Structure 1
Amino acid sequence: MQTVIEGAHVLTVAGDEYPDGHVVVVGNRIAAVGAGPAPEWARTGRVVDGRGCLLTPGLVNCHHHLYQWVTRGLAVDHTLFEWLTTLYPVWAGIDEDAVRTGASGALATLALSGCTTSTDHHYVFPREGGDVLGAEIRAAAEVGLRFHPTRGSMDLGRSAGGLPPDHVVEDRDTILAACADAVARWHDPSFDSMLRIALAPCSPFSVTGELMRESAQLARELGVRLHTHLAETDDEEEFCAERFGCTPTQYVADLGWTGDDVWFAHTVHLDDAAVKTIGATGTGVSHCPTSNGRLGAGIARVRDLVDAGARVGLGVDGAASNEGTSLLEDVKLATLFARARGGPRAMSVRQAVELGTLGGARVLGREDEIGTIETGKLADLALWRLDDLGHAGIADPVAALVLGAAPPLELLLVNGRPVVEHDRVVTVDTEAVAARCASVQRDLVAKAG
């Protein structure tokens, strides 16, 4: 396959910007990028007229719970802990079909928001649910996104002082064996991998310290990354103070959970010492502004984390705490939230796009492969149409993308292959997926009683 995009405003996120530029894709790699028309040698394949459009790297989603797509719109005015205790009984009923359906809906929606790479933090494994991790992996392959699912876990049930009910947790030996099996079955460390696995105990209030420590040891033995929720709400801060006598960041750091192979979701409630620890160790952070706002969790100190040296990307979080699941919306809200904390120069529109692209690639350890438009990198690209009524006349196309309404997505390439064309997903039947999602939600809610 060979694709040429020319006439677009090209934002490389690598330092160069071409108001009338071109990109040449050969196979799954970027073969050329620069100003003006594409070279003649490239005109042997598909030529896309990019006039009136902005071309960016594909967005990278660093935190999600895909199965929650089929439990959206529930507990909409709850705190995090209230929301979790309301939804745990519903999630206990998920199975392979529900997870594959939810993942298909969420991933297709992410694609329409310019996302080319997504993680997933799946930590609910009902005993009769079947191969739910495999189900979402199959969904990602069908939709066509680059996928970084994590084998999540919970072993601290309510009877032992945790938040989740006992019937949705697993024992530690089962978890560690399943984690090792997931890596053996699916993890692909190659340069152009479409599938990589990480290990992801859920949170300090749903996982024992022993599981956190042993998961870190196992992940490092297997050469995979580590992920968990951290410092999302005041409730979690109080839980760690009462149970462990320290902050969430101190707690996980003592268990070996810092470093460039670790990334945390949220990190809303950090003191100066926590910001310094995360930054000094090069630990990654997934900022989830929409979800944090939806649950009233607060505003993360993103500017401080970036300045401290942390690797920061963006995540939409679970669809049940972000009903829209638009990664582009999180680029916008990251800009607005940073400015709400630190003034109008706390986050520029280009810095926000960098968080959503190269920042996410760094969090996942893939900055040499994706996140910028450079020769030799993988062809994960988003072409946004900005000559429509909502955007025409905005002087700066990057400001139009970030601060304006969500624009139509003219083309989304993942690994050089089209996933979205003319604002329509071309890999799956989204109408059929939508109908199936609604049916699955009705069944899950009815089953929960």
Structure 2
Amino acid sequence: MSRRACDTLIRADRIVTQNDERTIIEDGGIAIAAGRIAAVGPWMEIDAAWQGETVMNLGRSMVLPGLVNAHTHASMTLMRGLADDLPLMEWITQHIFPVEQKLTPELVRLGATLACCEMARTGTTAFYDMYLMEQAVAEAADATGMRAVVGEVIFSFPTPAYANLDAACDVVRAMHDTYRNNDRIRTAVMPHAVYTTTPELLTRTAKLAEELDIPLHIHLAETTTETAQCMEKFGKRPVAYLDSLGLLSPRTLAAHCVDLTDDEIRRLAETGTRVAHNPESNMKLASGIARVRDMADAGVVLGLGTDGACSNNNLDMFAEMSTCALLQKVATMDPTVAPAQQVLDMATRGGAACLNWPGIGSIEPGNLADITALDLDQPGLMPMYNPASHAVYAASGGDVRMTMVGGEVVYRDGAFPKVDYPALLAEVRSAAAWVRKQFEGNGK
């Protein structure tokens, strides 16, 4: 019997499919055609049935679905390590916002390109991004081969991208028109948070998301301070406030969701609102610990995100998985909470659901070929008994040896095929001098 043609064949020691059965294949193979997974199974079966134009033998590697970063601000890589060790409201209003008002599209694009390289290097293939001048982020993601949902952050005050709410909505519409037929870049409506918007703004953005039939993303219930401010200004807690304005729905992804009551958790589940959990950022800013077990038990769809590199300070989703699992155990004083498989699900299948992007988050026929591979010969990954445990508790982004998006390699063994990495580093070093000057001028 003749073999069917495909673009790429991958062979690896272990394949963690993350399919419905969570099948793990030893000495496995994946056939990739036209950017999608054509077949996955034991290598002998795949090799017998498929002829690859390229054969990628990864040997002692564990292949997983590409990780999905469900909430980040990619361009904040340029501010990594500045304005550390501050509470959220002081950090964002006194140090971050003033510098962001001086950013240019070129700087935003540069920071996003660096972020895309960092994410590809550490096994992430798709991310949900909210920032200023987001068109530049979309361009960076597209140029580096990453998959992304992007959206211009909308505040109740002017930014370098728009003067008022009408202009902000025009920016969103223009981005949607630009990327409506792009295979890897999608758009969303992104009001920033309850404390930086107005009821009119939130209502308008909800209607805009419905009009364009795209997702909506917002920071929600991140701190007790946010709750107090919302109560004082609007007479409701943040979840109830958004609910009263019609913003809780299956198209909504809420980031953080730290300060929640039992009733609020139930309401998020009832409305189909999804949640991006950001444990490292929440820890660094002392925002609190999200109730992951209670949200999961209530049926809330959960993803995992790094937040921006200015409040984390990395975009490594393997580190985020480990932190998520360990933090939940000590918060509840129950070692069975947030088991490895559940956390791996959050970073793959849950992330795909948060992005509203069917076809990613698992390795199975018909899905997009978004894949990453860990080097199992690294000393910290030897020996291996439970692949999910290794992915969550033992691995780091530094163990990644290959990442591909839609069947195209975006990182392999120290190289970024689509990026002039030395030139990028030179640009980043130059930009860092400008960033430092802005922070020093702001009294930091």
Whole-Å separation in 1 of the counterparts to 2:82 and 2:438: 15
CA deviation profile, 1:310-356 (whole Å, cap 9, x unmatched): 11111111111122211221111111122223322111212111100
Deviation larger for 304-313 or 201-210: 304-313
Distance 1:168 1:219, change over 3 A: closer
CA contact (8 A) 2:16 2:387 kept: no
Paired position in structure 2 for 1:127: none
Residue 26 (structure 1) aligned with residue 33 (structure 2): yes
Q: Deviations over 1:363-405 (max 9, x none)?
A: 1112x31111110111001111112212111322332221114
Paired with 2:366 and 2:88, the residues of 1 have a C-alpha distance of: 43
**Residue correspondence of structure 1 range 281-360 to structure 2 within 5 A:** 281-342=271-332, 343-360=334-351
Match of 1:67 among 64, 75, 79: 75
Q: Residues of 1 paired with 2:155 and 2:112: CA distance? A: 21
For residue 17 of structure 1, the aligned residue among 13, 24, 33 is 24
Q: Which amino acid aligns with 1:434?
A: L
CA distance in 2, matches of 1:309, 1:150: 27
Equivalence map 1:40-79=2 (5 Å): 40-79=48-87
User: Whole-Å Cα distance in 2 between the matches of residues 413 and 364 of structure 1?
Assistant: 18
Give matches, 1:35-434, under 5 Å.
35-37=42-44, 38-84=46-92, 85-122=94-131, 124=132, 132-156=133-157, 170-188=163-181, 193-342=183-332, 343-366=334-357, 368-406=358-396, 407-434=398-425
How many angstroms does 1:146 deviate by?
Answer: 0.7
Structure 1 CA distance for aligned equivalents of residues 294 and 426 of structure 2: 43
Q: CA deviation at 1:436?
A: 1.6
Cα gap change, 1:34 to 1:167, in 2 (>3 Å): closer
Identify unmatched segments of 5+ residues in structure 2. Answer: 1-5
> Which residue identity does 1:419 align to in structure 2?
V
> In the alignment, is the contact (CA less than 8 A) between 2:227 and 2:237 conserved in 1?
yes
Structure 2: distance between partners of 1:279 and 1:252? 14
Aligned-pair CA distance for 1:70? 0.9
The whole-number CA distance in structure 2 between the counterparts of 1:254 and 1:66 is 31
Offset at 1:227?
0.5
C-alpha contact 1:409 1:423 (8 A) present in aligned 2: no
Indicate the RMSD between aligned Cα atoms, in angstroms.
1.8
CA distance in 2, matches of 1:22, 1:344: 35
**Structure 1 residue 54: deviation in Å?**
1.1
- In 1, the alpha carbon distance for the partners of 2:172 and 2:139 equals 18
SS at match of 1:313: strand
C-alpha distance in 1, partners of 2:168/2:75?
A: 19
Q: How far apart, in 1, do the equivalents of 2:89 and 2:160 lie?
A: 17
Cα offset, 1:222, TM superposition: 0.9
- Secondary structure of residue in 2 paired with 1:340: helix
Question: Cα distance, 1:42 vs. partner?
Answer: 1.7
The code of the aligned residue for 2:14 comes to H
- Output the amino acid matched with 1:239: Q
Q: Deviations over 1:242-293 (max 9, x none)?
A: 1112211111111111111000010011111111011111111111111111
State the shift of 1:237 in Å.
1.1
Paired AA for residue 166 in structure 2: D
SS of the equivalent of 2:195 reads coil
Which structure 1 residue ranges, 5 or more long, are not aligned? Answer: 125-131, 158-165
2:177 partner letter: A
Compute the displacement of 1:76 (Å).
0.7
CA distance in 2 between counterparts of 1:404 and 1:439 reads 35
> Which whole-Å CA distance do the structure 1 matches of 2:303 and 2:52 have between them?
37
Deviation readout 1:202-227 (Å, 9 max, x if unpaired): 01111111000111011101111101
Kept in 1, the 8 Å contact 2:161–2:168? The answer is no
8 Å CA contact 1:227, 1:263 repeated in 2: yes
What is the CA distance between 1:186 and its match in structure 2? 2.1
Q: Which amino acid aligns with 1:71?
A: M
Q: How big is the shift at 1:167?
A: 8.7
For normalisation by structure 2, the TM-score amounts to: 0.92
The answer to whether the Cα contact below 8 Å between 1:154 and 1:169 also exists between their aligned partners in 2 is no
Q: Distance in 1 between matches of 2:73 and 2:304?
A: 14
Matched position secondary structure for 1:205: helix
CA contact (8 A) 1:156 1:208 kept: no
Change (3 A) 1:220 1:167: closer
Letter in 2 for 1:45: E
Inter-partner Cα distance in structure 1 for 2:124 and 2:262: 32
- Shift in Å, 1:156: 4.9
